[in-house]
Amino acid sequence: MNIWLEEKHYLFLPVAEATTAPVDPLREYKFYACRWWVAHPDKGLAFHNIVSHRGRRQVAGLGAPQCNADERVARKVWPAAYPWPSELVFLEQVWVPAAYDEEED
C-alpha cells in the first residue's frame, strides 16, 4: 500500500458542517459548487494533507479536497484510492473553512 494513502494523511470535515452556509462574517471560506466528494461515512468529507516525518501537516488548512466536478472521473478514481471506508456523494454547495485547527476536532 502507498504510505501517502494512509488515513493519517487525511483530514475530514463533517458533511452537516460543510453544507451549512457560514454565519461568521469574520471567517474566510472556500466555496465549492456541484461536486462529487469522497466522504468517510462517520467523519465526513476527505481532504488530503500529508503528515511529514516531523509530525506536521504539509499545508495549512484542511488540505486538498477530494472532489471532482466530473462524475466519471470521480467514480474512476474513488473506489481504489482510499484505504478506509468511503463513499462518493454529490453535494450542490460546500463551504470549507480557509483556516483549520486540528485541535478543534
pLDDT digits (tens, 9 = 90+) for 56-96: 888 888 999 999 999 999 999 887 778 888 999 999 999 99
pTM, to two decimals: 0.86
Q: Other CB atoms closer than 10 Å to residue 82's CB: what's the count?
A: 19
Domain boundaries, the chain: 3-100
**Which tens digit of pLDDT belongs to each residue from 24-43?**
888 899 999 999 999 999 99
Phi, psi of 27 (to 5 degrees): -100, 135
Give the 3-state secondary structure of residue 31.
Answer: strand
pLDDT surpassing 60 at residue 55? yes
DSSP label at 92? E
